[in-house]
Amino acid sequence: MNDLAGKHIVLGLTGGIACYKAAELCRALVKEGATVQVVMTEAATHFITPVTMQALSNRPVYGSQWDAREPNNMAHINLSREADVILIAPCSADFMSKLLHGAADDLLSLMCLARPIDSVPLLIAPAMNREMWDHPATQRNRVQLQMDGCTVLGVGTGDQACGETGDGRMLEPQELLQDIIAFFQPKVLVGQHVVVTAGPTFEAIDPVRGITNRSSGKMGFAIARAAQEAGAQVTLVAGPVSLPTPRGVRRIDVQSASDMHLACVDTAQEATIFIATAAVADWRPLQVADQKIKKDGSGQPPTMTFVENVDILATVARSPRAQGGALYCVGFAAESHDLLAHATAKRLRKGVPLLVGNIGPATFGKDDNALLLVDANGSRELPHNSKLVLARQLVSEIAARLK
């Protein structure tokens, strides 16, 4: 899957040590299918060479507005007209000021000024010392650039080349890559607040043992990412998994079904969409031993009494907000057989408008899946694909149903 296939990105580099990250970013953009045209300021060439960027982009690097390689000597026009987006990474404090005031004394600034505003978006990834980033002038420039239609990506926090620590680092290449991919996704959930549950739960037996399942959480995390890409505010309630949190998503980590129930009831109060992807344990031990349960030599396992966990999806679906239409609920069913029959029955039992079924043993821990959408009108398959592609398709389905 190449998320940027067919996209042409002009990657601008300004002066700063973060230029070393631009090399990895360029490579990542190309691997995702984009063509990348690098444009460098004179200051940028003091930190990384045009030869390096040419090797990574497989295209000649531009640096001068008087570049004779352009037959009409108008590189600022030609390069900007070809772009799907202009991304400046790193973007120095000085260059932010130039963009704000419309200065155009080099090729990159001239190209940004000459770009067709309505069809060629401008994205910048700031990179500077923490004091420079916090300076009122820089923050005024950031706000005004956003008001002028520029997308200002965030900054990282941590160690800086000067030896200080704080805000102002350029985001890491993989973070920027995700932001660029998200930028191109259709914004079908703007204004929505989506709560997604993901992963297994863990029901403790004693301090070292418990009952869980094989859910990896990958489908739920993909849905959280897809919803955020679609413009929604996203809260991810995650069971015990080690997956990285998707960009821009608020994450709440839980362990047991009871923990997840409390988190979901709380977050659903402000949500407009609730997607229950998690594989929640149906049962838990009535009592949890204070110490590890030891074998007694009899060969017999210890006797345990189990109690049923609260049905999280059914509880949220029966809430006044869901019943009144303010909260759209989507359930998931991981089955081992007879998927349509079980998913149909589960949808009615849970009282949700949409139930998504899949064969659990065929997808647990994997990066791909196949989904079956079941609603009051019947069922429809989403054929086998990566979980992220399926998540985006599901988000589009939900958005269409909300309309």
Average pLDDT, the chain: 95
> Is residue 210 a contact partner of residue 167, using CB atoms and an 8 Å limit?
no
Q: Residue 13 pairs with which residues in a beta bridge?
A: 40
Number of helices (H), then strands (E), in the chain: 15, 19
User: Is residue 325 helix, strand or coil?
Assistant: coil
Name the residue with higher pLDDT: 128 or 296.
128
Q: What is the mean pLDDT of residues 198-219?
A: 95
Contact predicate 283/309, CB 8 Å: yes
pLDDT in tens, 135-155: 999 999 999 999 999 999 999
Q: Which residues of 114-145 are buried (b: 16+ CB within 10 A; e: fewer)?
A: bbeeeebbbbbbbbbbbebbeeeebeebbeeb
Check residue 33 and give its pLDDT: 97
The DSSP bridge pattern shows strands 210-211 and 165-169 to be: unpaired
The predicted structure's pLDDT at residue 362: 76
Strand segments, DSSP code E, in 273-327 are 273-276, 283-285, 306-308
Percent of the chain, pLDDT > 70?
100
Nearest to 202 by CA among 277, 263, 266, 258: 258
Tell me the per-residue pLDDT of 315-337, one tens digit each, with 9 for 90 and over.
Answer: 999 999 999 999 999 999 988 88
* pLDDT given for residue 360 in this prediction: 76
pLDDT of residue 45: 98
Cis omega (within 30 of 0) for bond into 353: no
Burial of 159 (0-12, 13-18, 19+ CB in 10 A): exposed
3-state secondary structure of 192: coil
CA distance 282 to 280: 6
**Residues annotated as part of the active site:** 162
Cβ density class 163-172: b for 16+ within 10 Å, e for less: eeeebbbbbe
Torsion angles phi and psi, residue 64, rounded to 5: -120, 140
Phi and psi of 111, rounded to 5°?
Answer: -65, -40
Can you give the pLDDT at residue 336?
A: 82
The tens digit of pLDDT for each residue in 234-282 reads 999 999 999 999 999 999 999 999 999 999 999 999 999 999 999 999 9
Model-wide pTM > 0.85: yes
* 124 pLDDT more than 80: yes
Residue-range domains of the chain with CATH: 8-184 (3.40.50.1950), 193-402 (3.40.50.10300)
